[in-house]
Structures are given as structure tokens and as C-alpha cells.
Amino acid sequence: MSRPSILTLTSQVLRDPQAVVVAHDTPADLGWLAPRLLAISGVGAALFGAVVGSYRGGEQVLYAAMKLPILLWAPPLLALPAIHAAWRACDVEVSYRRLAVASLAGMARAGVLVSALAPILWLPYSVEVEYHFSVLLFAGMLVLAGLPGLTAIAGAIPAGGHRRWIAATGSLALIGLLLAQTGWLLRPFVARPTTAVALLRPVEGDILSGLGTTLTSSLGLYGDWDAGRDGLLAREPR
Amino acid sequence: MSVSNPALALPTSVALALPLPTSVELARAIAGYALLGGVAALGAGEAAVSHAPVGLVSAVGALALTVPALLVAHPFLTLRAAPQALVAAIARPFTRTGDVALGLVPTLLLFRATSGLAQLLLALMLVGAAGLGFSLAIRNLVQTEADASEDSWSVWKMTLLAWAWSGLAALIGARLGIGVLLDL
Amino acid sequence: MNATTATLALLGAWLLLGGVTALVLARRGQPAATALSALLAWPVLVPLLADAAPRHAGPFATRIDTCFTALRTALADPSATGIVTAEELVSLEHALRRADGRIGMVDRLLAEEALRADPLALQLDRARGLAADEIESVLRGVVQLRVQVGLVALAGDTVPVRERMRELGARVRAMEEISLA
């Protein structure tokens, strides 16, 4: 079977990811398919990341572009064994390889879609909208692009089995949890213009405490939370 | 051997709808529960090491203490399924949820290393796995009885028995788990 | 160990596993891009470690691809759920690919001038012909399996499909032994 070009593959994952999964769920195809789909998702996510980093500007553009692909890849990669086991527990016979191909297709789909949303994000960022609103926009775009990616994975799971809703709910909850914690670990993406630019903040707290702080901050209740004057490769604001 | 009362007749041998798990599957399930608890206790000090077997103790202990009671109640209620079929109906969800526990180890490892949420997540994961396991076991037990019996009244009895068994096993599993965590 | 150190250790372990996977894939003849992908994305490439697909494809590789892609497409239809498990399909495909790989190896041997003169070469050629005929026959069986899947969707009787799968499985298992007799 001839291998499609990168552009053809991109079009296929957008139009019909199930056809990609069905056609390439073979040992022979996974080898050449994986780097191409990872490249598609990586480039798309990096483009989006560059726009996200443009809110702060400077090195943040590069840092966010480097981190967005990891944010897209980490949750499905970490959750794959548990998702496979959960569906098998519900007597749905789906091979690990099929789920792997579907995950790659889903990541590629999400990466391309999120890059298409980049210009829409850039517009409010270019007029320097309020910081919390900019974070919400960023998160909203990720969810908007991520959902079609998740449906690509869900579509690869065959019919049948019992208590499917348990496996479906658990899979979704696990990916959501991993996305949230990975995002917390890789912060900042949207950096305040007045803060130091840093590749990564020190690992402290967790996504729940971070959400709590954000909520109170958005209500105007500021505690001793530091806006981040340090971190990996930190640079003071100009 | 003829019997005057059909209710006293041993169940006719029924082809198992579900196979018993292999030793590899059992070992993998046990490893999954053991690792999940072990990961949550990683680097958390000596006190936490004693909490490591919480998953294994609550899962295996709950089954070991309650399945014999189920196997006694089943013929007492004049139900027809073969005992091996009942064991297989419960063992398969146990091995499958053990695989789920093994699959969750990378996620828990991430949270153990990067946050203080590991213990909370462990509890949620164990409760989730138990919920999945009991749900599937109830379904398997009822289906096994339906395959062996021809009357709906037996299926109803088995449904009630399966729910009662799972409630008891859940309570015992919780008691064992809390006992490990609080050194009771 | 503080959280940052633990995170870095975890990252190191991830990259180590990725590195090992990349090395193994590279040694098995996978392209460089595939091996490099394994550094970060090794969980999706683990199936390549477990699969026993031969490194060198034989003359039937393309036809095997076509037949099994078509069969998977048919089985992906909701009305064909549960007729054949993924494991059974993979097992059949792997066995065919291994047989195809062996024929490819024999073809490469027979292409060597020095070996063609050997008296055993005739027997090898004959055995190669028999094995190739068997693969052809199994591939025709796979095509017929697709038709039977359609009949299941209409009539609901999975017995012929199960029997066909058993027959094909038995034939490919017999092909695992190359006989020079």
C-alpha cells in the first residue's frame, strides 16, 4: 500500500480519522505512521504555542511553542495503558495497537485544529486583553480543538461489551486530569507582561491549588501567591 | 443417580461462558493492585510504606472473605449455575480491573512526583476500580445463572444475591483498606 | 526528595525507557524517524516491540496488506461486531507475514548464483512453490471471509465465519514448518 504524503495524511485525519485508523492498524504501518502524525501534531501545536506566547512576547513565544506539543502528547501517552485496560474490562476487544494509532490520529487532528484557531486567538492577544480572560481564551481553544481529537480516539473503539459508560467516563476523566496536571507542570503558557519570563516554574502545589488561587485572584482576593519571579531559565521583565 | 426431588439434584454441568483466568492474568492483576499502592507510598517515609499494600489487601481480602459465602448461599437458594462458573464470573472482573490498576500506575507516579494528590487519587482509583469490578461481576453472575436456569424467578434471586454479595464485599474491602491506612 | 527533583527523575526515567525502545526499534530495522519518535512517544510504539512481524517482506506483502485492510474495514462495520477478535486477526496476519518473509528469504537464496547449482536448490524451489501456493490459498480464504462477514450481517449465523477462521488458523500454523520432503 503506497504511503500518503504529509499533506494527504493531514487532510485524512481532519476529514475521516476512523478511515486512517482502520487502514493503518497494522504492524507494518505503525512504524512509518507514528513519526508523521507526531510531526503533524507537533508543528500544529507549536504554531499555536507561539501565538499563546506572543501575549508576553520575547522568549515566551519560543518557550510556549516548545511546551504546547508536550501538553498535547502527554495525556494520551500516559493514559493509553489504563484506557486499554478499562475497555478490555468492559469486554470490548480493542487492540493496544489500534488505540495507539487512534491516539496518534487524535493528537494530529487536535494539533491541526488548534493551529487553525491560532489566528482567532491572536486577534484579542494583539490588543492585550485582560490576563485572566486571555488564559480562559487559551484554555477554551484547547478544549475546542481537543474534543474532535478525543472523538477520533473514541471512534476507534468497537461496539459491544458491557457497562461501556464506565470505561468512557473513566477514560475521559483520566485524560482531563492528566491534561490539567501537565498544563500545571508546564506553566506558564500565557505569562503576564509584568512577570519574569521563565521556561518552567518550580514544581509546587498542584492543579487543584492552582485553580483555587486563580479563582480567588479573579475575584480580586490576592493572598501571598507570588506572580512568579523565578523558575527554569527565568528572565526578569525589561 | 436418580433423585426424587429435582431441587436436590446437583447442577448439570454447563459449559463455562467465561474461562477461569490464567496464572499470568492473576499475577498481572495482583501486581497491578500491589504497584498502585506502592507507587502512592513512594518516598513518603517509613509510615507510608506500611500503607503500600492497601490496594492488594482490600481487593484480595474482600474476595477471599466473601466469595465462599456466596458459594454457600447460591445452592441454598436452589440456584442452578455451577460453582466454577460463579468463580469465573467474579475472577474475570478481578483480573481485568487489576489490569486497569496496572495501567493507572504511570498516572499515579506522575502525581506522586509532582503533587500532594497521590493519596487522594489512589483512593479514587481504588474506588473506581472496585465500582467497575462489582458492576461487571454482578452482570456476569446474573448472566451465568440465566444461562443455567430456565425460569425468571431464579434470575431474580441471583440478581438480589449478586447485589447483596457485592455490597458485603465493598464494605469488607473498605474496612480492610481503612484498616491498612490507619493501622487498625 | 523535593517535587522538582522527583519530576526530573521521572522525566529521566521516561527518556531512558524511550531511549531503550528507540535502540531496540533501530536494531530491528525500523527507520530512523520511527526510532527517534520513540524517545518521547514510546507508549504508542510499544506494539512494534511486541509484534513478531518479519523485518523483510516477501512477494506477498502488498497483497497481505490489501486483504487484511479490506477485511478490517468490513469488520469495523457495527453489524459485524464481535465476529472475529482483534487478536485472532493479528495472529493470522502475523503468521502469514512470517510465511511470506520465509518465502522472501528463500527467493533471495535462490537468486544467488552459487547456491543455484546446489542439488538441494531444486527441492528448495519445489518447497517454495508449495508454500507460495498455500499462502495464495489462505489469501483467497481471507477474501471469502469478507463475503461471509457480509452474510453474518444479514443472517446472523457466525458459525461459518468461526469455522473459516479456525481452518485458516490451522493452515497457517501448518505453514510454520518448512519441509524439504
Q: Cα C165 from chain centroid?
A: 16
Please report whether residue A61 resides in a domain: yes
Amino acid symbol at A163: R
Q: Is the pLDDT of residue B15 over 50?
A: no
Model pLDDT, residue A215: 66
- How many domains does chain A divide into? 1
Q: Is residue A129 part of a domain?
A: yes
Q: B88 or A4: whose pLDDT is higher?
A: B88
- Residues 107-136 of chain A with CB under 8 A from chain B are none
B23-40 and B54-76 helices, crossing angle to 10°: 140
**Is C70 exposed, middle or buried (CB count within 10 Å of its CB: 0-12, 13-18, 19+)?**
middle
Q: Which residues of A touch C91 (CB under 8 A)?
A: none
pLDDT digits 0-9 by tens, B147-164: 888 789 999 999 999 999
Q: In this model, does residue A232 exceed pLDDT 70?
A: no
Q: What span, in angstroms and rounded, lies between the C-alpha atoms of B72 and B75? A: 6
Among chain A residues, CA nearest to B113: A203
Q: Does the residue A225 lie in any domain? A: no
- Asked if residue A110 has pLDDT above 90, the reply is yes
pLDDT at C54 over 60: no
Q: Do A89 and B93 touch (CB under 8 A)?
A: yes
Residues of chain B found within 8 Å of residue A183, distances taken between Cβ atoms: none
Instruction: Note whether residue A58 is domain-resident.
Output: yes
Question: C72 CA to chain A: closest CA distance, Å?
Answer: 7
- Cβ–Cβ < 8 Å for A104, A38: yes
Cβ contact, residue pair C47, A25, below 8 Å: no
- What mean pLDDT is predicted for residues B2-9? 43
Q: Which ranges in chain A belong to alpha helices (H)?
A: 6-15, 17-24, 27-53, 59-89, 96-126, 131-155, 164-186, 207-218
Task: State the average pLDDT for chain A.
Answer: 86
Q: Is the pLDDT assigned to residue A227 strictly greater than 50?
A: no
Is the predicted pLDDT of residue B11 greater than 50, yes or no? no
Q: Cα(A199)–Cα(B182) distance, rounded to whole angstroms?
A: 41
pLDDT at B43 over 80: no
Residue C51's pLDDT band (boundaries 50, 70, 90)?
low
Its ipTM equals 0.83
The pLDDT of residue C74 is 80
B108 phi and psi angles, rounded to 5 deg:
-65, -35
pLDDT at A221 over 80: no
Q: Is residue A222 part of a domain?
A: no
Is residue A84 within 8 A of residue A94, CB to CB? The reply is: yes
Rounded (5°) CA angle B15-B19-B24: 160
For chains B and C, count residue pairs whose Cβ atoms are closer than 8 Å.
15
A26/chain C closest Cα distance in angstroms: 8
Q: Which of A61-70, A115-124, B12-21, C127-136 has the lowest mean pLDDT?
A: B12-21
Chain A residues whose CB is inside 8 A of the C2 CB are 203
The x, y and z cell numbers of residue B106, run together, are: 504511570
Q: Are C168 and C144 in contact (CB under 8 A)?
A: no
Nearest to A22 among C30, C73, C82 (CB): C73
Please give the residue that has the higher pLDDT: either C150 or A22: A22
Question: Rounded to an integer, what distance in angstroms lies between the CA atom of residue C145 and that of residue C167?
Answer: 11
Lowest mean pLDDT among A81-85, A168-172, B119-123, C74-78: C74-78
**Bond prior to A188 in cis (omega within 30° of 0):** yes
